[in-house]
Copies of this chain bind each other. A is one copy, B any other.
Amino acid sequence: MPQIAYLGPAGTFTEQATRSLTGDFDAELVPFETVPLALTAVRRGEVLAAGVPVENSVEGSVPATLDALTTDEPLVAVQEALLPVQFDLLVRPGTEQSAIRTVASHPHALAQVRDWLAANLPGAEVRATSSTAAGAAAVAAGEFDAAISAPVALEHYPSLERLVGGIADVRDAVTRFLLVRRPGKLPEPTGADRTSVCAVIGDEVGSLAELLAELSLRGINLSRIESRPIKDRFGEYRFFLDFDGHVADARIGDALTALRRRCSTVRFLGSYPKADRTPASVRETASEQAFRLSAQWVEDVRAGRLA
């Protein structure tokens, strides 16, 4: 059975996301202490792939993931998952809400349910743990009365029970995860795909505007952009870009050739189906046919067949 790494421990949001990312095939999920360690295991071929947080994660540091994806040997994303940021309140059976004196979780999770705790457990002391799962483990061990946990935690701590579900101060918040593996056969285009790249460009005025114009001129919709400093290369900027489309699409391939010409480095981080399955809208002038016909026309002109 193939092994899939994830940012551990077991019972966290990343485990839950990695399960949904690998739902299609039998795999053994293996927790790692950090994202860089999980990615190193993929690079060495010790595991087939890794599930990692890339946006707004509760426990994992997303900047750490982005940095780890772009240093060392290339890896590519092959699948995407979105998880709602909603927590369960886990207790030992028989614990009543009014009897809860201590509630434990990762500090970021506690921050995200602060209003709920103030309204529903005003007397309880909050206690930090290294992950949401560690909070559940501590409740199972009798150290604290309740834990704010990912829904998947209950499967790892069957001695606990869910007193309240769906806890969230902010409705509709989601975290985004990717399944990454070593470069190889890409996922098939589905018509609702996303492509991720990391581009390094010189720190000249307008270099980013020109880079994005290469996308917009080809009708490509950008869904996320984030700049990150490059520590040891003064005067260069690194951008993480997500946009609609698959590298197999003519307009995406054409845009990536332009990025490759413009950037000192471009790293392809994958083309994969979008988790929300919304199809890309492609304008007529950027369709597969438009690219094919225009390339044919230039070829004909160059060959003296047309003018």
- Give A residues with C-beta under 8 Å from B: 33-34, 56, 59, 61, 63-64, 106-108, 110-111, 114, 126-131, 134, 170-173, 203, 205-206, 208-210, 212-213, 215-217, 219-227, 231-232, 239, 283
Contact = CB atoms under 8 A, between A and B. Distances in A.
A21 B208 CA distance: 31
26 contacts: A56-B63, A61-B108, A61-B111, A64-B111, A106-B107, A107-B128, A107-B130, A126-B130, A128-B128, A128-B130, A170-B231, A203-B221, A205-B219, A205-B221, A205-B283, A206-B213, A206-B217, A208-B222, A208-B225, A209-B212, A209-B213, A209-B216, A212-B212, A224-B227, A225-B225, A225-B227
In the A-B complex, the 8 residue pairs with the closest CB atoms: A206-B216, A209-B212, A128-B130, A209-B216, A209-B213, A128-B128, A107-B130, A172-B231
Nearest to A224: B227
Contact of A231 (B126, B171, B283): B171
A34 B170 CA distance: 15
Contact of A172 (B56, B134, B216, B232): B232
Q: Which of A106, A129, A173, A212 has the most CB of B within 10 A?
A: A212
Nearest to A214: B209
Contacts of A212: 208-209, 212
Stoichiometry, copies per complex: 2
B231 A173 contact: yes
Contacts of A127: 130
A103 to B, nearest CB: 12
A144 B65 CA distance: 30
A203 B129 CA distance: 40
A290 to B, nearest CB: 15
A52 B172 CA distance: 25
Nearest to A67: B170
A218 to B, nearest CB: 9
Q: Which of A61, A108, A206 has the most CB of B within 10 A?
A: A206
A255 to B, nearest CB: 12
Q: Which of A114, A208, A226 has the most CB of B within 10 A?
A: A208
A119 B203 CA distance: 37
B205 A220 contact: yes
A108 B131 CA distance: 10
Nearest to A219: B205
Contacts of A173: 231
A302 to B, nearest CB: 30
B111 A34 contact: yes
Contacts of A221: 203, 205
A128 B105 CA distance: 10
B34 A114 contact: yes
Given A107-B131, A130-B128, A231-B172, A215 B225 contact: no
Contacts of A205: 215-216, 219-221, 283
